[in-house]
Structure 1
Amino acid sequence: MTENGVRNRQKNGKQSGKQNGVATHQEEKIQDEEFSVRESPLTSLLASSLHLRAIYHIFVVILLVLICDTVIFDLVESGKINIGLSIVAAGFGDVSRGIKLWLYDFCVVMSFYPLLVVYSWTGAISRKYPVLRPTVVLLGVIGIVAVEVAVAAVPVYELGKKHLELGSSVAVTCEMFRFMMKLVSVASACGPRCVNGNIPLPTFKHYVYFMFAPTLLYRDQYPRTKKIRWGLVVFHFMEVGAIVFYNCFLWERFIMPYWSDYGKEKTVEAGAVVRGMFACVLPGVISFLCGFYCVLHAWLNAWSEMLRFGDRLFYEDWWTTSRFSLYYRRWNRVVHSWLRDHIYLPLAPYFGRPLATFAVFFVSSIAHEVILALSFGFFYPVLLVEFGILGVIMVPLTATAGRRFPNVFNVIMWLGFFIGNGILWSLYPMEYFARRNCPPSENDSFFVPKSWSCPEVILKPNWSFQNPLSILFTK
């Protein structure tokens, strides 16, 4: 579909929605899924707003201050400078093993295209002999399931047997899920073509392009820009590198001092744990914002520019929302569009919107938890509880009230981000270091948190509660 055709289709869809009052699910899908040439929101805002550019500069200054802090600390303590390189090296340890796992997945994904061609031949036979069509369809389903299992099995087995360091394992597992989701998109778009024979299969070149394009929805054509701005590509990759160091500095200066010795002593005071959790709130939110900017803005925009991919609306202005339903839609449009097209819309007509929504949250939260479990080397469903349970509860609670009191509920949403990220940046490091520092036990398990039993959290000796208001009534 050409760019003008996309615009006309969107325009006609909007006019139809205005005439009917309420758009149907199919109309919403058509309006939302079409691609057009457009910039990311932060790209437009940074270009037009000096105020937002100043906030960007504030984050740059924070990074520079953290670098100076690290340099001075290293000079005073050890007489050498590593500028956080030791944390980066530790976080991305055993890169060669991670690359091998990625290459395995890539080879499996590339082998799917010739299988698709073979399947189209069997589809041609089924058109001559209609009695074979159910068998051919069943073979197609079995084939895509087998390929999906092949993509996931080896990385899951290898990381389960011996996990990589955190950065490398996150990259491997995220790429594993990305390939699996793209294969589903290709299969759902091209499978019916193989059976019906009404539309030809994509070329291998376009298939490879889709595997690297910053989208999870397959289309025969995407809007393309006229040229590649290599300076912009370099700038975005420099941002990615800077944010990696940014998070390493946060880990080294705010996480390590509080949690690196967790488990070395048999007991720990509850006050120290609470102080550590609150100390992790601010670095947790900064890391949350940096992670969003790194992946959904800098990384995807760099690949978009290299591939001349025109549609760069990877997210929307989620930071202004007062309803959690809008936040989940705007936070990551790339994944949200895939979940909508391949889980929500197929299930909603048969099982209803509430159950389809629950299925979306369930699949998404499980995927996030698998990534964290394989990355850390243990199962600790903190994110699953925050995202898959509390997040689901907040959707109906903010549906009406968020419209009536947008400012209040935007504050509540940000309060949830602060508290939630502080908890994540506390509980996961506590469990991580408890498994490293606590002595081995026969009760150790991948699924049972060790930080619950080692060390023992106790109150401060001779601790007692004193009413702070009692001073007003004395004398």
Structure 2
Amino acid sequence: MAISDDPHGAVRNPKVLNDSSVLRRRPSAASVSGFFESSATVESESSGEESVKDSSSDDSISSDQNIAAANSDQNRGPDISSIKFTYRPSVPAHRRIKESPLSSDNIFRQSHAGLFNLCIVVLVAVNSRLIIENLMKYGWLIKTGFWFSSKSLRDWPLFMCCLSLAIFPLAAFIVEKLAQRKCIYEHIVVLLHIIIATTAVLYPILVILRCDSAFVSGVTLMLLACIVWLKLVSYAHTNYDLRALTNSIEKGEALPNTHMEYAYEVSFKSLAYFMVAPTLCYQPRYPRTPSIRKGWVLRQFVKLIIFTGVMGFIIEQYINPIVKNSQHPFKGNILYAIERVLKLSVPNLYVWLCMFYCFFHLWLNILAELLRFGDREFYKDWWNARTVEEYWRMWNMPVHKWMIRHLYFPCLRTGIPKGAAVLIAFMVSALFHELCIAVPCHIFKLWAFSGIMFQVKSNYRVVLVFAHLLL
């Protein structure tokens, strides 16, 4: 008969001392041998949650009272008899074959959160010492005119040029509207788009070269000009393809599996949204989020201001003094030049990381949130890239998508080999990097162009094929 809590008619076992105690049996020799053969942990063996039957009685403990007894055991602490038996010196301490956490077979199965936190602590400690040492050596070098000064007013021609860049998307819209109404021929449309896109780049270059502007102002204008050029090319190329698909469908010449994601339409609203959206690839409609998170946007703006200040602090306090106190790399000792370059590498890395975080994460996400732009894959995990080519495909997704959509695959469709298409894509990227650096500095040495082209992993056969295509 089961033990009941009812005081009337309940059968009490004389071995039960009180209502809250649990009926237990002392481990026998058979249970001892079973204990040594078990692979369970010590905690599970000493939990005391299993019911025990009395050898002299057929009574069993009911499930509800068993749970209550287990909870009572947990509140009361480990059972004395279990502890006395379980933690004996004869209990095996080694039961399985195990590898060390840092062994080659086990290192990638472990969580390295603790090591990551340790590295953060070390970086904070080391850089705090460097900051204190720098302040003691040079003092506070950031002046009051770091953010804005009277010299910035002389860059007003660049500011006016930046505002006038809006004329080129308007001109492209007029050309597309005429093409939609079939007022001009297709080859005239292509020619006009080429003229508009080329002028959008050459006009800022001439303004920067004629004006004695600051480096930051020139870089900003050149970046905006390159972005406008890429967007204009995407706008013209996408509408050209939509027109071709529409004409093929109307004539019944399209393939059976041809499917247009969007109808061909020329809308000024779509163009205006595209010109301010954080993407370089045009399409009539984009995935949109349901609402704007205003509190989230405010927090990202605060982060943007903080990390921009950190970037400026590193440039003014570390990079500029090192450059001013260094000799020309080709006029001094080679070991001294190497030491200077290595000393500049760490602050340059910090500036690059701050720039990446500020622009690709903070600014583009802020812009996407304000415009309710849905696709926010502005970068991938480039820090896990195993090759240089993989890194270039992952760190700047807007440019990568533009290259794939409007340059790489069009080259393949025209019969250009894959290696030559990759080389063309790298050449275009290297050219724009050179423009963004050489034009504001007024120095045309092809340093940025050569640095990117040296990273191309192409063999001599690809170069010969490309040279053959040029000739």
Work out whether the TM-score is over 0.5: yes
Residue 128 (structure 2) pairs with residue 86 (structure 1): no
Residue 215 (structure 2) pairs with residue 166 (structure 1): yes
Deviations 1:19-38 (A, max 9, x none): xxxxxxxxxxxxxxxxxxxx
Deviations 1:183-226 (A, max 9, x none): 11111121354575674424211210111111111112111111
After superposing the two structures, state which structure 1 stretch, 332-341 or 253-262, moved more: 253-262
Contact 2:360/2:379, CA 8 A, preserved across alignment: yes
2:408 matched to which residue of 1?
344
Alpha-carbon distance in structure 2 between the residues aligned to 1:339 and 1:102: 25
2:86 matched to which residue of 1?
none
TM-score (norm 1): 0.62
TM-score (norm 2): 0.62
After TM superposition, give the deviation of residue 161 of structure 1 in Å: 2.1
1:115 matched to which residue of 2?
175
Give the 3 Å change call, closer, same or farther, for CA 307–297 of structure 1 in structure 2. same
After TM superposition, give the deviation of residue 382 of structure 1 in Å: 2.8
More helix by share: 1
1:284 matched to which residue of 2?
348
Answer with 1 or 2: which has the greater Rg. 2
- Equivalent of residue 381 in structure 1, options 434, 446, 449: 446
1:333 matched to which residue of 2?
397
Contact 2:319/2:348, CA 8 A, preserved across alignment: no
Q: Percent identity?
A: 23
Alpha-carbon distance in structure 1 between the residues aligned to 2:411 and 2:427: 13
Alpha-carbon distance in structure 2 between the residues aligned to 1:153 and 1:60: 44
Alpha-carbon distance in structure 2 between the residues aligned to 1:90 and 1:351: 51
- Equivalent of residue 369 in structure 2, options 274, 283, 305: 305
Alpha-carbon distance in structure 2 between the residues aligned to 1:274 and 1:266: 11
1:273 matched to which residue of 2?
337
Q: How does 1:173-184 map to 2 (within 5 A)?
A: 173-184=222-233
- Describe the SS at the equivalent of 2:456: helix
Give the 3 Å change call, closer, same or farther, for CA 68–354 of structure 1 in structure 2. closer
Deviations 1:226-252 (A, max 9, x none): 111122223323333333322222222
Residue 369 (structure 2) pairs with residue 320 (structure 1): no
Residue 139 (structure 2) pairs with residue 139 (structure 1): no
Counterpart AA for 2:431: I
Counterpart AA for 1:257: P
Residue 358 (structure 2) pairs with residue 294 (structure 1): yes
Q: Structure 2 regions of 5+ residues with no counterpart?
A: 1-111, 251-262, 460-471
After TM superposition, give the deviation of residue 387 of structure 1 in Å: 1.7
Report which structure shows greater RCO (CA 8 Å, sep ≥6): 1
How many residues are paired up? 333
- Describe the SS at the equivalent of 1:224: coil
2:48 matched to which residue of 1?
none
Q: How does 1:205-216 map to 2 (within 5 A)?
A: 205-216=269-280
Give the 3 Å change call, closer, same or farther, for CA 262–378 of structure 1 in structure 2. farther
2:51 matched to which residue of 1?
none
1:186 matched to which residue of 2?
235
Give the 3 Å change call, closer, same or farther, for CA 189–171 of structure 1 in structure 2. same
Alpha-carbon distance in structure 2 between the residues aligned to 1:149 and 1:52: 51
- Equivalent of residue 353 in structure 1, options 418, 428, 432: 418
Counterpart AA for 1:369: E
Give the 3 Å change call, closer, same or farther, for CA 52–141 of structure 1 in structure 2. farther
Give the 3 Å change call, closer, same or farther, for CA 66–378 of structure 1 in structure 2. farther
RMSD after superposition: 3.7
- Equivalent of residue 158 in structure 2, options 98, 114, 121: 98
Give the 3 Å change call, closer, same or farther, for CA 179–59 of structure 1 in structure 2. farther
Residue 305 (structure 2) pairs with residue 246 (structure 1): no
Residue 274 (structure 2) pairs with residue 225 (structure 1): no
2:430 matched to which residue of 1?
365
Give the 3 Å change call, closer, same or farther, for CA 379–62 of structure 1 in structure 2. farther
